[in-house]
Amino acid sequence: MRLIINGDDFGLNKNCSSAIALAMQKGLISDTTMMANGACFDAAVALAKEQGFFDRIGIHFNLTEGEPLTRAIGRDPLFVQNGSFHKGYTKEPCRLDETQKDMLFRELCAQAERLLSAGIAITHADSHHYIHNYTYLAPIVAEVCRKYGIGRIRLNRTLDTPLRPHVTEGRVDNGYWREQGFVTTEHFGRLSDFRELAVPDNTEIMVHPDFDRDGRLIDRTAVADGFPCGEELDIIASLGEDISLISYRDL
């Protein structure tokens, strides 16, 4: 079974970036995606070079957290309040005017250009809080990806469990990305799916490497009392001998 395990949020902060580097070193993840506006961007770039996974970095498009890279979008309260992105707009469908579409396009271009300027050959794309799959944002993301030659992208969730049913409301059908000419895996889910499902071949599993209050390497799924919490990432090493960990570069 071919499996991609992607560590999201590279560059978000020091702990996330260090946890992703450790997970790479231990062979627990195959790829990572980077936040261009993350507080730890420059240090994360240096860490990837030092640890030897500079060629396994995609872009984690972000319109829901941190400061924007462009000025214009910072003046639109739908997306930015008090100088930072927020995700309030994702709670209901939006109709964007042409000015907003242009602002979003320019912001996402700036995010891609920051990675490229750092020497990162962007291998694939996904997004913070799944924003690239929202129906009113997906065409803009697709245009940005085409502009910068990013040909691989993450799906919506396809694995279905009682705890985590398909998340599709307000989001494009997975066929959209293939119709647009992008390469994807066949399936996408989270680490917890391994407990309830026979995960099929050609699947991407999303994880958020971090350290809990005891310093254990975990897949962050929540924050309690200011500390990340979740399942220890070492569980990946015991998923099964029939698993072949591949990279987005292999698709």
pLDDT of the residue at 162: 62
Residue 163 has pLDDT above 90, yes or no: no
| pTM listed for this prediction | 0.95
pLDDT digits (tens, 9 = 90+) for 108-141: 999 999 999 999 999 999 999 999 999 999 999 9
Among the residue ranges 76-90, 144-158, 169-183, the one predicted with the least confidence is 169-183
Strand order through the sheet with 217-224: 209-211, 217-224, 227-232
pLDDT of the residue at 193: 82
What value does the mean pLDDT take over residues 192-206? 85
Domain boundaries, the chain: 2-250
Distances (CA, A) of 40 to 26, 27, 43, 115: 22, 23, 5, 13
Instruction: Please report which confidence band the pLDDT of residue 167 belongs to, taking 50, 70 and 90 as the band edges.
Output: low
Residue 194 has pLDDT above 80, yes or no: no
Instruction: Please report which confidence band the pLDDT of residue 165 belongs to, taking 50, 70 and 90 as the band edges.
Output: low
What value does the mean pLDDT take over residues 15-40? 97
- Higher-scoring residue by pLDDT: 13, 162: 13
| b/e per residue 234-244 (b: at least 16 CB within 10 A) | eebeebeeebe
* Structure tokens, 97: 């005017």
* Structure tokens, 58: 């995609």
Residue 164 has pLDDT above 70, yes or no: no
Cβ within 8 Å of residue 167, ≥6 positions away = 130, 156, 157
pLDDT of the residue at 109: 98
Among the residue ranges 2-6, 12-16, 156-160, the one predicted with the least confidence is 156-160
Distance of CA 89 to the CA centre of its chain: 19
CATH 3.40.50.300 fits 2-250, yes or no: no
pLDDT of the residue at 242: 81
Distances (CA, A) of 239 to 47, 56, 192, 198, 215: 28, 22, 11, 11, 23
Is residue 40 within 8 A of residue 238, CB to CB? The reply is: no
pLDDT of the residue at 81: 96
pLDDT digits (tens, 9 = 90+) for 133-161: 999 999 999 999 999 999 999 999 888 76
DSSP assignments along 70-131, one per residue: STGGGG-TTTEETTEE-SGGGGS-----HHHHHHHHHHHHHHHHHHHHTT-----EEEGGGG
Provide the mean pLDDT of the chain.
Answer: 93
pLDDT of the residue at 1: 86
Is residue 135 within 8 A of residue 141, CB to CB? The reply is: no
pLDDT digits (tens, 9 = 90+) for 35-67: 999 999 999 999 999 999 999 999 999 999 999
